Chains A and B, each alone.
Chain A
Amino acid sequence: MTDLPTRSIDLKAVLTASSPTADHSEGMSYLQSVPRRIVTLYLPLTIIVVILLFPFYWMALTSVKPDEQLLDMETYSPFWTWSPTFKHFHKLLFESYYPHWLWNTMYVAVCATVLSIIASVLAAYAIVRLRYKGANLVGGLIFLAYLVPPSILFIPLATVVFQYGLFDSPMALILTYPTILIPFSTWLLMGYFKTIPFELEECALIDGASRWQILVKIVLPLSIPGLISAFIFCFTLCWNEFIYALTFLQSTSNKTVPVAIVNEFVDGDIYRWGSLMAGALAGSLPLVILYAFFVEHYVSAMTGAVKE
């Protein structure tokens, strides 16, 4: 799996199109007439983008619509509202455990991510640079661990969590999420560490630095972009995780946002849609905001995991 593309992927270029290959000259595009471009490029692209974004528009619109407009689709146009209300958000913030759930999710995600990044930095450095006996084999095993899905592990893990007395506590998630995150981030960081010139470390070794000093003072500062990518992507994965949180947590106030919304907000109430969508929107916004600031890092994490 190591010799994929002939030319290494320039990650920034994926978003900004500023790689050496993607020149800004018009290239062969002058061969296409404008009407032809509209039909073959802009039209299909618009359709796909609209479909991809429509559910979010619908989520946002539903969350600010007054109840009577939600269900009466004949007198009011369903695609817009002129009298937005924050009633659903108010209900969410002050009449439910929502702030609790948000805090739980954040707490679990940050702890699990930090733990996994520390473990992965050490592991990736050892595999790439210490090259101890069997390092390649361990690298391969970690890749295999990435392919083990949570949905075949949750049943035995539930018994393990119960035996260790972690059931219904955030610790259960903080300790089990790293099994998803470590393989991914180790693999990503291995790719990053390989790009750091070996000579730098040799110089430091000659100057008498220990391996630990090299890691902390040379390798880590040079791989900050990789660390940010790994951190953000792990954080997103934690926030997104569902099946472990559903299985290992029981009491209402301990739940994470995705589980809580599915289990606690879905009641028989016919007017539930407004608050349900408000909850879904509020649960996605932190990630979308994070994403908006770190688009490049997301893309590099995604493609980085694939290119190795």
Chain B
Amino acid sequence: MADIAIAPRAKPQLREATAWDQLRHNRNWLGFWFMLPAMGFLIFFLAYPLGLGIWLSFTDTRIGRVGHFIATENYEWLWDDSIFWLSVFNTLLYTFVASALKFAIGLYLALLLNENMPFKAMLRAMVLIPFIVPTVLSALAFWWIFDSQFSIISWSLKHLGLISQNINFLGDTTWARICVIFANIWRGVPFVAITLLAGLQTVSPSLYEAATLDGASSWQRFRYITYPLLTPIIAVVMTFSVLFTFTDFQLIWAMTRGGPVNATHLMATLSYQRAIIAGQLGEGAAISSAMIPFLLAAIMISWFGLQRRKWQQGESND
């Protein structure tokens, strides 16, 4: 046995790392190869179009015709366009009302689902179904529910004796706005509720027990335990919710196509109408580029919300 240990074997000659070895084993090069497919997709189909979109908004491109640089003419044109401003107003109204209600109802639903009760797992699974079904298809169901003649809601209200005439849900400007906002809330609540529920389950029940012993009311327990512990997850969920509501397209397109009299036109639907249907790519690109500042603002607000949370944790004032 000792012999084997003593007899020195000829060591293989250490050779210099060739360039080929570098490419195969160097951490940075390996990282580069691994990133290549994802980066390829994101650069060619995301970063490049994003830049191209901004460039297009400064040209007068139409479908089938190369555009020329016309500086800010598209934006000046939009500045005086009342339909554009109406769509901005609609988008802000839609985003604000729908997000606020989604948050309120979603949080309430999450608190309810967090209680102990029979069939809990099944209930939670059922709640998520509106989120799974493609938006357009459920929007069609809403279209039928809100039909002007055969709406089940009008029928029920008439038979309850509350109204005498059918409500023209999608034909009246106010009602149309209420209906699309309702459909958006309906679709968004499950997402908010289930993600907040995931956050709620990380809160230890002993905190509530201790607070109850100290005489805290249920509102105080919510305000001083649940809410602070949920803040980070709320910030992320609401960022996504605001972002997707603001840029919503399919729900509106399936239900109203922006009508009646542009009352439900969002910026996304207006840009589709101008760019693809009317063929004015430049103008459509200007409308969609005009969404970018709003989106950045939404992201910044939630980002600073998170920062504040970090600062609070740093001060350890809880």
How many B residues face the partner with a CB closer than 8 A? Answer: 108
Q: Which residues of B contact A240 (CB under 8 A)?
A: 134-136
- Binary contact track A283-295/B, C-beta < 8 Å → 1, others 0: 1100110011001
Instruction: Provide the bound-state CA to CA distance between A205 and B196, in Å.
Output: 40
Can you name the residue of chain B whose Cβ is closest to the Cβ of A26? Answer: B116
- Binary contact track B35-61/A, C-beta < 8 Å → 1, others 0: 111111110111111101100100001
Can you name the residue of chain B whose Cβ is closest to the Cβ of A60? Answer: B141
Instruction: Provide the bound-state CA to CA distance between A189 and B44, in Å.
Output: 22
Of the listed residues B38, B115, B125, B276, the one surrounded by the most CB atoms of chain A closer than 10 A to its CB is: B38
Segment with Cβ contacts to A, from B9-17, B71-79, B81-89, B203-211: B203-211
Contact A152 B247 (CB under 8 A): yes
A19 at interface, CB cutoff 8 A: yes
Q: Which residues of B contact A198 (CB under 8 A)?
A: none
Cross-chain contact of B45 among A71, A178, A288 (Cβ < 8 A): A178
Contact A132 B30 (CB under 8 A): yes
Instruction: Provide the bound-state CA to CA distance between A215 and B27, in Å.
Output: 15
Q: Which chain A residues in 15-74 approach chain B with CB under 8 Å? A: 15-17, 19, 21-24, 26-29, 31, 41-42, 44-45, 48-49, 51-53, 55-56, 58-59, 62, 70-71, 73
- Binary contact track A172-211/B, C-beta < 8 Å → 1, others 0: 0001101100110010000000000000000000000001
Instruction: Provide the bound-state CA to CA distance between A132 and B289, in Å.
Output: 34
Contact B31 A132 (CB under 8 A): yes
Q: Which chain B residues in 116-149 approach chain A with CB under 8 Å? A: 116-117, 120-121, 123-130, 132-138, 140-142, 144-145, 147
Cross-chain contact of B253 among A10, A261, A262 (Cβ < 8 A): A262
Contact B140 A160 (CB under 8 A): no
Contact B31 A9 (CB under 8 A): no
Question: Quick one: given A14-B197, A156-B52, A243-B272, are A306 and B240 in contact (CB under 8 Å)?
Answer: yes
A interface, over-half SS: helix
Q: Which chain A residues in 121-156 approach chain B with CB under 8 Å? A: 122-123, 125-127, 130-133, 135, 138, 142, 145, 147-156
Q: Which residues of A contact B180 (CB under 8 A)?
A: none
Contact B141 A5 (CB under 8 A): no
Q: Chain B nearest CB: distance from A147 CB in Å?
A: 6
Can you name the residue of chain B whose Cβ is closest to the Cβ of A178? Answer: B41
Contact B126 A145 (CB under 8 A): no
Question: Quick one: given A120-B38, A156-B49, A242-B253, are A29 and B116 in contact (CB under 8 Å)?
Answer: yes
Question: Quick one: given A28-B209, A299-B198, are A306 and B38 in contact (CB under 8 Å)?
Answer: no
B32 at interface, CB cutoff 8 A: yes
Contact A73 B201 (CB under 8 A): no
Q: Chain A nearest CB: distance from B78 CB in Å?
A: 14
Contact A19 B201 (CB under 8 A): yes
Q: Chain B nearest CB: distance from A81 CB in Å?
A: 13
Instruction: Provide the bound-state CA to CA distance between A182 and B41, in Å.
Output: 8
Q: Which chain B residues in 296-313 approach chain A with CB under 8 Å? A: 299, 306, 310, 313
Instruction: Provide the bound-state CA to CA distance between A154 and B190, in Å.
Output: 27
Contact A49 B41 (CB under 8 A): no
B93 at interface, CB cutoff 8 A: no
Can you name the residue of chain A whose Cβ is closest to the Cβ of B236? Answer: A306
Can you name the residue of chain B whose Cβ is closest to the Cβ of A29? Answer: B116
Q: Which chain A residues in 157-173 approach chain B with CB under 8 Å? A: 157-160
Cross-chain contact of A73 among B137, B150, B299 (Cβ < 8 A): B150
Contact A295 B291 (CB under 8 A): no
Report which B residues bind A (CB closer than 8 A): 27-28, 30-32, 34-42, 44-50, 52-53, 56, 61, 105, 108-109, 112-113, 115-117, 120-121, 123-130, 132-138, 140-142, 144-145, 147, 150, 152, 155, 186, 189-191, 194-195, 197-199, 201-205, 208-209, 212, 229, 232-233, 236-237, 240, 243-244, 246-250, 253-254, 268, 271-272, 275-276, 281, 284-285, 288-289, 291-292, 295, 299, 306, 310, 313
- Could you write out 27 A-B pairs with CB less than 8 Å apart? A1-B236, A3-B313, A13-B201, A22-B205, A28-B205, A45-B109, A52-B129, A58-B152, A59-B141, A123-B35, A123-B37, A126-B34, A127-B35, A130-B27, A130-B30, A131-B27, A149-B247, A152-B53, A155-B276, A182-B41, A240-B136, A242-B253, A257-B134, A258-B137, A262-B140, A291-B129, A303-B195
Report the 10 A-B pairs with minimum CB-CB distance, sorted nearest first: A132-B31, A126-B34, A149-B247, A123-B38, A151-B268, A119-B37, A156-B53, A156-B49, A242-B250, A156-B52
Report which A residues bind B (CB closer than 8 A): 1, 3-11, 13-17, 19, 21-24, 26-29, 31, 41-42, 44-45, 48-49, 51-53, 55-56, 58-59, 62, 70-71, 73, 78, 115-116, 118-120, 122-123, 125-127, 130-133, 135, 138, 142, 145, 147-160, 175-176, 178-179, 182-183, 186, 211, 236, 239-240, 242-243, 246-247, 257-259, 261-262, 273, 276-277, 280-281, 283-284, 287-288, 291-292, 295, 298-299, 302-303, 306-307
* Extra 8 A-B pairs, beta carbons < 8 Å, given A55-B141, A154-B288, A288-B132: A5-B232, A14-B198, A21-B201, A52-B189, A130-B30, A155-B281, A156-B53, A156-B56
